[in-house]
């Protein structure tokens, strides 16, 4: 079963690459079929085998020989490994299905935010819809609490939106990410996730400024840190919260 989950994750990761490339260009993620962005060669099934095709073709287009970014197999591998880890933690359950989809969405948002410094509403709207479905199904399976999850979304959105207003150091999209992640993770979950995001983002920003990799006026994408914080919470968030509370009290 683990091998099957890994393969599914890798295949979905291949689709995520399409989303990452086409969403910023406002192109359909369904049509036309996958093709070389350099020569237009329409990729065949043998060219679309996750990771294996990249290795077999030595990272180049079969037709024109243009170099293919290492980003593509890395996204596939990241998504596949995360799917496998989520399955090992939650088994074949509602949480496995929705946390896997949430993780995939956060990968897409993070890559686009890193490259474009922009978060597209189409991705955050999908996140809200996905969270709504998760909460509604969770009411019957007892995997979600409508009050806790809804308040998690409101609190997540509110915290980041307040920071946006006060500091103008983030964008509306960051608040939207925190909002739909809160809908999934609940009150404790989004608070821990944002705490991790702020600490991690602050450390990275300090390193960037220390080594003068960017100046103080340069934009730094915060969406990926919210994504990392949320994914960390999915795996070990409750354990981290317990350790923190034991340390305090």
Q: How far is 198 from 192, CA to CA, in rounded Å? A: 10
List the beta strands (DSSP E) in the chain: none
Q: 177 near 221, Cβ under 8 Å?
A: no
155, 161, 166, 169 alpha-carbon torsion, rounded to 10°: 120
Residue 73 Cα distances to 15, 58, 80, 101, 213, angstroms: 11, 12, 10, 19, 27
When pLDDT is cut at 50, 70 and 90, the band that residue 249 belongs to is low
Q: What is the mean pLDDT of residues 150-155?
A: 96
Over residues 194-206, the pLDDT tens digits come to 999 999 998 998 8
pLDDT at residue 216, as a whole number: 58
Over residues 50-70, the pLDDT tens digits come to 999 999 988 898 888 889 899
CA angle, residues 157, 158, 162, in degrees to nearest 5: 120
When pLDDT is cut at 50, 70 and 90, the band that residue 218 belongs to is low
Angle between helices 94-116 and 223-248 (to 10 degrees): 120
pLDDT at residue 215, as a whole number: 64
Q: What is the mean pLDDT of residues 79-93?
A: 96
Over residues 98-136, the pLDDT tens digits come to 999 999 999 999 999 999 989 999 999 999 999 999 999
Residue 164 Cα distances to 5, 25, 160, 171, 219, angstroms: 39, 26, 6, 6, 14
Q: How far is 67 from 38, CA to CA, in rounded Å? A: 9
Percentage of the chain beyond pLDDT 70 is 97
Q: How far is 157 from 180, CA to CA, in rounded Å? A: 8
Residue 35 has φ and ψ, to the nearest 5°, of: -150, 165
Q: pLDDT: is 170 or 248 the higher one? A: 170
pLDDT at residue 238, as a whole number: 84
Q: pLDDT: is 238 or 191 the higher one? A: 191
pLDDT at residue 109, as a whole number: 97
Please determine, for residue 211, whether its predicted confidence score (pLDDT) is greater than 80: no
When pLDDT is cut at 50, 70 and 90, the band that residue 181 belongs to is very high
Q: How far is 201 from 195, CA to CA, in rounded Å? A: 10
Q: Per 3-state DSSP, what percentage of the chain is helix, strand, and coil (rounded to 5)?
A: 75, 0, 25
CA angle, residues 136, 227, 181, in degrees to nearest 5: 20
Q: Report the predicted TM-score, pTM, of the whole model to 2 decimal places.
A: 0.93
Q: Peptide bond preceding 92: is omega within 30 degrees of 0, i.e. cis?
A: no
Which residue is associated with the tokens 């608040």? 175
């Amino acid at each position: 079963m683990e091998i099957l989950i890994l393969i599914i994750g890798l295949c979905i990761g291949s689709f995520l690459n399409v989303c990452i490339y086409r969403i910023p260009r406002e192109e359909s993620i369904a049509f036309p079929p996958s093709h070389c962005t350099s020569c237009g060669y329409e990729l065949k099934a043998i060219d679309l085998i996750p990771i294996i095709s990249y290795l077999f073709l030595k990272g180049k287009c079969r037709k024109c020989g243009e170099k293919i970014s290492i980003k593509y197999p890395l996204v596939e591998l990241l998504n596949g490994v995360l799917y496998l880890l989520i399955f090992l933690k939650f088994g074949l359950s509602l949480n496995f299905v929705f946390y896997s989809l949430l993780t995939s969405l956060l990968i897409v948002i993070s890559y686009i935010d890193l490259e474009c410094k922009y978060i597209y509403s189409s991705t955050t709207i999908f996140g809200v819809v996905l969270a709504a479905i998760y909460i509604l199904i969770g009411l019957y399976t007892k995997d979600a609490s409508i009050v806790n999850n809804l308040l998690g979304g409101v609190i997540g959105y509110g915290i980041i939106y307040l920071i946006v207003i006060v500091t103008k150091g983030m964008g509306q999209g960051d608040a939207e990410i925190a909002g739909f992640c809160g809908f999934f993770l609940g009150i404790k979950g989004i608070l821990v996730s944002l705490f991790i995001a702020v600490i991690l983002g602050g450390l990275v920003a300090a390193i960037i400024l220390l080594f003068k990799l960017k100046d103080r006026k340069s934009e730094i994408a915060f969406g990926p840190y919210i994504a990392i914080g949320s994914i960390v919470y999915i795996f070990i968030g409750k354990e981290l919260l317990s350790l923190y509370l034991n340390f305090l009290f």
